[in-house]
Amino acid sequence: MVIYIHGFGSSGQGMKAKLFREYFKSKDVAFIAPSLSYIPDLAIATLEELINSYEGDITLIGSSLGGFYSLYLAQKYDLKAVLINPSTKPFVTLAKCTGYAPSFHDTSNFLWMDEHIESLKKYSVDFTNQNNLMLLVQKGDETIPYSEAVKKLPKAMQIVEDGGNHSFEDIEKHFEKIKVFFQK
């Protein structure tokens, strides 16, 4: 099963999640993209419950904050993970977002607090088996410097593209490479 982990303020109904859902359904591959709590501890608890309840092979795809969560879970459970413009230090990048933050899927807001930022620190890992990782970054990411992930994960399979943005433009052109990576 492939678990897609969305980023900060997003949901399992975001555009990338929908594209991946359609692709994996067409390949008859089990896929889930849960809408996770904005509270890091609750998001991780939900993901761990999903991982522990599934009997077959599990792989992860994480975007932005979801990439950070994917790194933690891949290390803990020895899973393969694809990281899309991942946040490597969300406790730094999301510190500027305290207060009411928008949910990008609907018109709601949520209260992002210092305690949420602090809780992210315990999920930071030094990833030991980078052969289990595929990193996709675009240099035009306006939110997170792509070089942070490239530097943190030098032994991961890396796809570094010029241009693009934080959403990762044209992600679907990499779907087959992702599927092959998961099958290795």
Lowest mean pLDDT among 16-30, 76-90, 106-120, 149-163: 106-120
Backbone angles phi, psi at 100, to 5 degrees: -80, 125
pLDDT digits (tens, 9 = 90+) for 74-132: 999 999 999 999 999 999 999 988 888 888 778 788 889 999 999 999 999 987 789 99
Rounded Cα distance, 103 and 120, in Å: 19
Instruction: Kindly tell me if the per-residue pLDDT of 57 is higher than 90.
Output: yes
The tokens for 113 are 């607090």
Predicted pLDDT of residue 184: 84
Tell me the pairing of strands 109-112 and 99-102. Answer: antiparallel
Listed residue (148, 170, 150) closest to 159, CA to CA: 150
Q: Which fold has domain 2-183?
A: Rossmann fold (3.40.50)
The model carries a pTM of 0.95
